[in-house]
Amino acid sequence: MRIPFLSLFITSPFDGLQEHAEKVKECAWIFQHAIECHMVHNCKSFTGLREEVIRLESEADVIKRRIRGHIPVGTFMQVDKFQLFRYLKEQDNVLDSLEDVLDWISYREEPGIPEVHQKEFFLLIDSVIDPIEELSRMVAEARKYFKNYSDKQRTLVKEIIGNLRKQEHEADKAEDLVKKKVFNMEKDPVTVFHLVRLAETLGAIADHAENAGDMMRAMLSR
């Protein structure tokens, strides 16, 4: 194991990435409550929860700008700067997709998500929340790796990246299940369009988490 000498004197950009990842995870919890609220009749707090997600997204933007604005110029970096930015973009896209889902839901209050489809939607929501939890763990373990360059730590991060890929596959299957049921049960074209687009926007959350994993793999291979 060899630790680059200069890295001992540089603030790791992974400190900021970890802070951003925790903000995404916090946002995901509120997001899940918002959708559960939306599915319950006489929900009174959906708007408030959606505003909370918007507030957290704004705070994450501040962290993102700080990371981009404080990369040392002409100094040794643990990872390629552009790979780091691409990783950050994918992690931020996860958060944007959470907000997009709530925006889309808010456009059509009735019938919203019909009760007959709620079980499949809950499965899809669970399948896209799991990768967000894993994303946060991946950044935490990568942060350790780029401090000690341990082979064991590198292997652990690669295992988490593999988990993200499997979880994205599970989310794809859950999305397909929703679409199949909607197309076979719904007759109203507006309802079909609203539900299918909702399923695809939910699925995009897991897609971006997997893309973030791919960018992390690229940084590990440097």
**Residue 76: predicted pLDDT:** 56
**Residue 138: predicted pLDDT:** 97
In angstroms, what is the C-alpha Rg of the chain? Answer: 19
**Residue 5: predicted pLDDT:** 44
- In order of their start, the domains of the chain are 13-69+76-221 (1.20.58.220)
Q: What is the pLDDT along the chain (222 residues), one digit of tens a residue?
A: 444 444 444 567 888 999 999 999 999 999 999 998 888 766 778 899 999 999 999 999 999 998 888 766 555 567 888 899 999 999 999 999 999 999 999 998 776 889 999 999 999 999 999 999 999 999 999 999 988 899 999 999 999 999 999 999 999 999 999 999 999 999 999 999 999 999 999 999 999 999 999 999 999 986
**Residue 7: predicted pLDDT:** 46
| Cα dist from 14 to 2, 21, 109, 154, 175, whole Å | 19, 10, 40, 15, 32
CA 21 to chain centroid: 8
32 phi/psi in degrees, rounded to 5: -65, -40
Separation CA 216–CA 205 (nearest Å)? 17
pTM: 0.88
**Residue 9: predicted pLDDT:** 42
**Residue 11: predicted pLDDT:** 65
